[in-house]
């Protein structure tokens, strides 16, 4: 008798819990719907779509591989794989970076932009219907204003397993 509790009881802020759960659930559902639309309308996955979008929105139409991987939050090897597929499909081109021989620059092609043109309307429709339908203009702005600092904070935070686990306020610089 009197076993220690399997999950030590601790009070979790229910407001935070609700925000966290809703965030995970909303993006899971949204991503799922987006994947489906992209697949139907253009044979794309969300990752490949993000690659094309980032390149398309870049002034030069291109990026270094590593920068792109960080931007869309995917592993380097994962991006290599997807870039290979996109290249085989003629949607991007890869070339050695001019300044650094080991670097690879990935560039969107006209075919890539054309595919985006075919896929974007449906994409906007899905996002509009699912994410923004229940949100007023002010709500959308509020959401953006809440998430922007969070994103900046996460980007600034030690990218991977640095610190953590030693949250004690030590005197290290």
CB of 59 to DNA, least distance (A): 18
Q: Is 66 in the site for a second copy (CB under 8 A)?
A: no
Using the minimum distance from each CB to DNA, give the nearer residue, 79 or 91: 79
Q: Among residues 106, 112, 82, which one has the least CA distance to residue 94?
A: 106
Long-range contacts of 49-55 (CB under 8 A, 24+ apart): 49/119, 49/123, 51/79, 51/82, 51/83, 51/86, 51/92, 51/106, 52/86, 52/91, 52/92, 52/108, 52/112, 52/113, 52/115, 52/116, 53/116, 55/92, 55/106, 55/107, 55/108, 55/112
Which spans of this chain sit near DNA (rule: CB under 7 A)? Answer: 32, 36, 45-47, 64-66, 73-85, 94, 97, 100-105
- Is the separation of the CB atoms in 91 and 111 below 8 Å? yes
> CB-wise, 137 or 160, nearer to DNA?
160
- Which of the residues 16 through 55 are near a second copy (CB under 8 A)? 16, 18-20, 22-33, 36-37, 40
| Cβ nearer to a second copy, comparing 44 with 126 | 126
* Residue among 64, 72, 66, 62 nearest 108 (CA): 62
* Cβ distance to a second copy smaller for residue 33 or 97: 33
Q: Which of residues 133-172 bind a second copy (CB under 8 A)?
A: 133-135, 137, 139-144, 146-155, 157, 160-161, 164-165, 167
Residue 83 CB, nearest approach to a second copy (Å): 18
As measured in angstroms, the least distance from the Cβ of 10 to a second copy is 8
């Amino acid at each position: 008798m009197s076993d220690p509790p399997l999950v030590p009881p601790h009070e979790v802020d229910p407001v935070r819990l609700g925000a966290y759960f809703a965030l995970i659930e909303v993006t899971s559902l949204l991503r799922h719907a987006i994947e489906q639309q992209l697949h139907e309308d253009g044979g794309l996955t969300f990752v490949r779509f993000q690659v094309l979008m980032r390149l398309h929105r870049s002034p030069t139409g291109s990026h270094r591989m590593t920068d792109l991987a960080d931007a869309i939050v995917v592993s380097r090897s994962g991006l290599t794989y997807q870039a290979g597929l996109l290249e085989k499909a003629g949607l991007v081109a890869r070339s050695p970076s001019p300044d650094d021989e080991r670097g690879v620059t990935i560039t969107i092609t006209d075919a890539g932009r054309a595919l985006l043109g075919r896929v974007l309307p449906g994409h906007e429709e899905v996002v509009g219907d699912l994410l923004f339908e229940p949100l007023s203009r002010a709500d959308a702005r509020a959401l953006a204003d809440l998430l922007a600092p969070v994103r900046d904070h996460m980007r600034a935070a030690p990218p991977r397993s640095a610190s953590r686990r030693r949250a004690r306020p030590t005197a290290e610089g």
